[in-house]
Structure 1
Amino acid sequence: MIAAILTLNAGSSSLKFRVFAREGLALLARGAVSRIGADAELVAELTGASQVRSPVAGGDHAAAMQAVLDFIDAHDEGWRIEAVAHRIVHGGTRYTRSTPVTPQVLVDLAALIPLAPLHQPHGLAAIAAARRLVGEDVPNLACFDTAFHAGRDALFTHFALPEPLFEQGVRRYGFHGLSYQWLAQVLARDHPELHRGRVVAAHLGNGASLCAMHQGRSVDTTMGMTAVDGIPMGTRSGAVDPGAILLMQRSFGMTPEEIEDLIYNRSGLLGMSGRSNDVAALLTDGSAQSRFALDFFALRCAQAAAAMAVSLGGIDAMVFTGGIGENAAPVREAILRHMAPLGDFATLVIPANEECMMAMEAAALLA
């Protein structure tokens, strides 16, 4: 019997999973249920084996979770799930490290839904499904995207607003922490001299941000109170003048719900190009709008990198990760061209592995 850890990353219409051996964290299986709420389908594979594809009956995360467990039951090689680790986007100020899920934790995380409306409800739905279907005796662990950024200096956590608002939670939290925590682990293992230095890390995917790291700790980051802030993303706007939001509401008659949908779902690369949020598609398309969207994205990333370098007092390395950061060489090259005034620094591409980071956290909890 192999002691195993299941990791879950729930999105609005997807549930990604991986199964790791508890000892050594070897990857045993991986897959995802996509199009939850429509024609949901499971695509999964054992390590070294061919893919399995099957339709998923039911239209919610519970049905997706059942499909994942059915796959594991049908294809495992004597695995025993000893913990389930969940990616939870927002931990607020209370949860600054991974934590076992309790009824009180669930109440606290539900209260944070307004700060991460696209992510938090689905993470909680995955926890509920796992607790019911895997069994109450198997511990669930909440791993937070905000936790890595806890403990930053107050200069990097405030907005220029009255202090009572900060005390009420209107502050800069930062996200993609599991990805940056993994990068810090890899740098410490493979590039210890850079790990000790001033690193600007860029997690560039459909969600995107940059982080200033020194000695493996977060100093500053581009995202603020919510995961829509900072640089442009696939469908999210990134930073927008607050006055523009007020104008949309007061003069254009847009409701808060319509504005939320605009800045989360219809902006970024998709909104600017008018075509797609997929960088590979935009590079292939080559239209003036697509080129402009990519040029704008690269410029904003470079400007953000310069800001992160200021927070660090210089830059020793630029590290790219995420779907765009790892696979879109023309975008990386454009960002680096804009960063030429910063002088010489090392450039690395490190594959993202938030799931392994979550499994490491779960293994530590079990130990």
Structure 2
Amino acid sequence: MSTACAQYILAVNSGSSSLKFGLYQKDNLLMALHGSVKPNSSDENHFIVQDHHNEFLANHPLAHSGVLPGIKELISWLHGQRTRYPISAIAHRLVQGGPNHREPEIITPQLLKQIHQFTYLAPNHIPIALEVIKAFQAGFPDAVQVACFDTYFHKDMPAYAKHYPLPAKYQEQGLQRYGFHGLSYEYIMGKLITKSPGVLKKKVVIAHLGNGASMVAIKNGRSVDTTMGLSPMGGLVMGTRSGDLDPGVLLFLLNKGKLSTKELDDLLSRDSGLKAIAGYSDMETLVLNQARDQKAAEAITTFCYQIKRSIGALAAAMGGLDILVFTGGIGENSAVIREYICQDMAFLGIRINKRLNNKGHRIISKKNSTVTVRVMATDEAAVMAKHTQTLISKSFIS
């Protein structure tokens, strides 16, 4: 329950077409509100705000689609609640900050300029993120704005996993494997460590599976490899993103397809992946249709095959596997996809209990499974709020 003297931290997680947010008390980080702006089943953008009991405080369609109209609606709604929820800081998820910006930091004009220079590393994410930051700076000029980078969790990956076998001059321009979904991985590891500090000595694979999907290998609490590389387009096949491709495929598309770099980017990020295979990318719909739609079944098989293959590769990178975690919209909510992925993985020690899996239990592995298989909800906004609280405390900003 809010009080007159309470201050709040707003955590904003904006994507290329949707956004999620959470509002947290500055002192104790208790969540007061959470919400989203995203397309519904009719492709109509919907604005939702719920309190900590999940009671709806706002739930209505928006006249215009896209992130920026959603941000405008959120700012307007928060202004209407500003006496009850005074906001002193706003945390922003940024996919990419280049090689020199990994740790959370307070946003300055100089930082925004430097991030803009790395737009080419994430052209579908950085421009929108910068617009979102500007909108909140204008809407809340007295609030501290904080950047939380999705690459932070992977900053200490070993050089052999981080660097591409290309001339050093490109590395100097920021070409390296950054890894993403770091805020999600940080949250999951924090929860695992709270349950059992011994996790820091374990070999863990976390599968963050959603419309965007990646996996990470964590050994002794450290990210040692991950499926995404330079950009969020790489690694696993995703909803509309291609995932990893033979470099020859890109040359083919440029030479034979006569694509411009913009057309190539649009193809790989918006018109590839599950959408290219089945004609649509929503996993829930694919699962419902797989029995009568061969293309849907093919898309699911491709998705699960690549994840299964990556589990084996990441386990090999660590010399074994102790814990496998499923998270993200698909990983947490689709028992069918988890079952498909874990089929025929007993050679690696992965054996799941179908009954527990179908009932949505948090631990779904069998007693004789040498790998503990968990299903966990992630909360990137909570991590962002925590980083912001720490930064404010260190900087003596009230």
- TM-score interval w.r.t. the shorter chain? over 0.9
How far apart, in 2, do the equivalents of 1:215 and 1:77 lie? 45
Q: CA deviation at 1:199?
A: 0.2
**TM-score, structure 2 as length reference:** 0.86
Provide the secondary structure at the position in 2 that maps to 1:254. Answer: coil
How far apart, in 2, do the equivalents of 1:289 and 1:187 lie? 37
Q: Tell me what 2:360 maps to.
A: none
Provide the secondary structure at the position in 2 that maps to 1:359. Answer: helix
Q: Tell me what 2:239 maps to.
A: 234
Of 9, 27, 41 in structure 2, the residue corresponding to residue 5 of structure 1 is: 9
Structure 1 residues 283-341: Cα deviation after superposition (integer angstroms, max 9, x where no partner): 10121111111111111101111111111111111111100100111111111124332
Query: Does structure 2 retain, via aligned residues, the 8 Å contact 1:207–1:234?
Result: yes
Of 137, 140, 143 in structure 1, the residue corresponding to residue 145 of structure 2 is: 140
Q: Tell me what 2:24 maps to.
A: 20
Q: Which runs of 5+ in 2 are unaligned?
A: 350-369, 394-398
Q: Tell me what 1:52 maps to.
A: 58
How far apart, in 2, do the equivalents of 1:241 and 1:173 lie? 19
Of 74, 85, 96 in structure 2, the residue corresponding to residue 68 of structure 1 is: 74
Q: Tell me what 1:313 maps to.
A: 319
Query: Does structure 2 retain, via aligned residues, the 8 Å contact 1:149–1:173?
Result: yes
2:281 is the alignment partner of 1:248: no
Whichever residue aligns with residue 103 of structure 2, its letter is R
Whichever residue aligns with residue 125 of structure 2, its letter is H
Of 199, 205, 208 in structure 2, the residue corresponding to residue 200 of structure 1 is: 205
After superposition, the Cα gap between the structure-2 partners of 1:40 and 1:324, relative to the gap in structure 1 and judged at 3 Å, is: closer
Q: CA deviation at 1:11?
A: 2.1
**TM-score, structure 1 as length reference:** 0.94
Aligned residues: 363
2:391 is the alignment partner of 1:365: yes
Whichever residue aligns with residue 198 of structure 2, its letter is E
Query: Does structure 1 retain, via aligned residues, the 8 Å contact 2:179–2:227?
Result: yes
Q: Tell me what 1:102 maps to.
A: 108
After superposition, the Cα gap between the structure-2 partners of 1:62 and 1:206, relative to the gap in structure 1 and judged at 3 Å, is: closer
Provide the secondary structure at the position in 1 that maps to 2:7. Answer: strand
2:143 is the alignment partner of 1:117: no
Query: Does structure 2 retain, via aligned residues, the 8 Å contact 1:302–1:338?
Result: no
How far apart, in 2, do the equivalents of 1:345 and 1:207 lie? 25
After superposition, the Cα gap between the structure-2 partners of 1:267 and 1:59, relative to the gap in structure 1 and judged at 3 Å, is: closer
Provide the secondary structure at the position in 2 that maps to 1:79. Answer: coil
Whichever residue aligns with residue 249 of structure 1, its letter is L
2:209 is the alignment partner of 1:210: no
After superposition, the Cα gap between the structure-2 partners of 1:339 and 1:117, relative to the gap in structure 1 and judged at 3 Å, is: farther
Query: Does structure 2 retain, via aligned residues, the 8 Å contact 1:299–1:338?
Result: no
Query: Does structure 2 retain, via aligned residues, the 8 Å contact 1:157–1:172?
Result: yes
Q: Tell me what 1:176 maps to.
A: 181
Q: Tell me what 1:127 maps to.
A: 133
Q: Which runs of 5+ in 1 are unaligned?
A: none
Query: Does structure 2 retain, via aligned residues, the 8 Å contact 1:18–1:355?
Result: yes
Q: Tell me what 2:37 maps to.
A: 33
After superposition, the Cα gap between the structure-2 partners of 1:106 and 1:68, relative to the gap in structure 1 and judged at 3 Å, is: same
Q: CA deviation at 1:192?
A: 2.4
Q: Tell me what 1:81 maps to.
A: 87
Structure 1 residues 54-106: Cα deviation after superposition (integer angstroms, max 9, x where no partner): 45577775543332133224346722211000000002111121010001100
Aligned identity (percent) is 36
How far apart, in 2, do the equivalents of 1:332 and 1:191 lie? 24
Q: Tell me what 2:162 maps to.
A: 157
Q: CA deviation at 1:127?
A: 0.7
Query: Does structure 2 retain, via aligned residues, the 8 Å contact 1:236–1:263?
Result: yes
How far apart, in 2, do the equivalents of 1:345 and 1:89 lie? 31
Of 83, 96, 100 in structure 2, the residue corresponding to residue 90 of structure 1 is: 96
How far apart, in 2, do the equivalents of 1:321 and 1:170 lie? 28
How far apart, in 1, do the equivalents of 2:20 and 2:269 lie? 21
